[in-house]
Amino acid sequence: MIDLHTHTTCSDGTDSPFALVKKALATGVTTLAITDHDSTAGWSEAITALQPQIELVLGAEISCLTSDGISVHMLGLLFDGENAAIQQILADSRDTRIPRMRKMVELLRADGIDISLADVQAQTPAGATVGRPHLADALVRKGVVASRDEAFLNLLNNESKYYVTHAAPTPVEAIRAIHAAGGVAVIAHPFASRRGQIITSETFADLVAAGLNGIEVDHRDQNAEERKTLREIAQELNLVITGSSDYHGTGKLNAMAENTTLAAQWEALEAQADARRVVRV
């Protein structure tokens, strides 16, 4: 059972890295990737929770923007965490998140919604990368919405007037940085239209030219037709097909290992990294 996309309290999840690994063990996951947003801060703690039944894939979900302003998330897996260039990209993205959050709060307040930056920070675990899920949690806490899902559906999706972008590399730049650090790049939920604007099928040509390794096909935010199209694109372009939960813990519907990756696909993906970096005990 292989789940290649999960989050912890080091970004916008609700489980600590240690608890995430234990949850995966209890669920029966045998290969788990930790992919916090723009952060590798949870890697060390996650490793301490390992047992022989499970192996850990270290990674990060890199926030990107296309040249025409479409938000794209790129999963970098199996890269060298000591690589200075990729750590600089992650740090730059994190540094822009507070100004972005302040602007989103100002827009919400301008429409009479009772929320403050302090409310958001109160819902952000110490050391975590602040993001829209923390704003969603603050809105739930204030009684503005009933759940994270409702917050994203009605207020925080990419098409909302309250949405604010932040400085980010292009998907091509992220792919190149992941490769330069020895890892592999998988585009996360590329056709998840409920999140807002999405890339087109034609976009993949540039991503493949940059070295894209795989496409996250099986994800709860992509319907059956979207998955079918992505599977065809992956097969046509000889890209690895992955499935993942995008697990965040409580507050989101995503269940651990609700979508998984076939063993043969994972083996093909791991083989494309420049070193064997899966962590085992």
Residues 115 and 191 in one domain: no
pLDDT at position 6: 98
DSSP lists the bridge partners of residue 241 as: 215
Same domain, 241 and 188: yes
The secondary structure of residue 14, as a DSSP letter, is S
Last residue of a domain, one of 125, 156, 187: 156
Q: What is the number of structural domains in the chain?
A: 2
Residue 93 banded pLDDT, cuts 50, 70, 90: confident
Residue 84 within any structural domain of the chain:
yes
CB atoms within 10 A of CB 196: 15
Q: Are 238 and 252 in contact (CB under 8 A)?
A: no
Span 156-213, pLDDT tens digits: 998 899 999 877 899 999 999 999 999 999 999 999 876 666 888 889 999 999 999 9
Question: Strand 71-77 relative to strand 55-65: parallel, antiparallel, unpaired?
Answer: antiparallel
Q: Which helix (H) or strand (E) holds 240?
A: strand 240-243
Residue 91, Cβ density class (10 Å: 0-12 exposed, 13-18 middle, ≥19 buried): exposed
- Residue ranges making up the domain that contains 137: 97-156
The CATH number of the domain where 266 resides is what? 3.20.20.140
